Amino acid sequence: MPPKIGFNYENVDLVKCAATYAYHLTQAHAFVDGNKRLAAAVTETFLECNGSELMMNDDEVVRLFLNIAAGILTRDDVEELLRRNIREGNG
């Protein structure tokens, strides 16, 4: 399910949408190179546009997206990790 649909029609919260972007953009392999970087940028931009902040340092973000790409983390794992590392604003 695309994040926008879930957020608009199923009362899915911001973190679940961000986790969905992070996971599926990384796993999609839409580009020859840069999928993890794109997914990280989209995820963080989505959070910032909605008044929230990702509270992870660069090494933690790199490890997160490498683990997604390697199949180590499920989408639910990503959501749980983001819940611990996002400061939600008024977005």
Q: What is the pLDDT of residue 66?
A: 97
Alpha helices in 1-91 (DSSP H): 3-9, 14-28, 35-49, 58-69, 75-84
Q: What is the pTM of this model?
A: 0.83
Q: What is the pLDDT of residue 10?
A: 67
Q: What is the pLDDT of residue 3?
A: 55
Q: Which residues pair with 87 in a beta bridge?
A: 53
At 88, is the pLDDT very low, low, confident or very high (cuts 50, 70, 90)?
confident
CATH of 3-87, one of 3.30.360.10, 1.25.40.10, 3.40.50.300, 1.20.120.1870: 1.20.120.1870
Q: Which residues pair with 53 in a beta bridge?
A: 87
Q: What is the pLDDT of residue 12?
A: 77
Query: Please, what sign has the CA dihedral across residues 33, 75, 6, 46?
Result: negative
Domain residue limits, the chain:
3-87
Question: What does the pLDDT look like over 28-56, one tens digit per residue?
Answer: 988 889 999 999 999 999 999 999 999 99
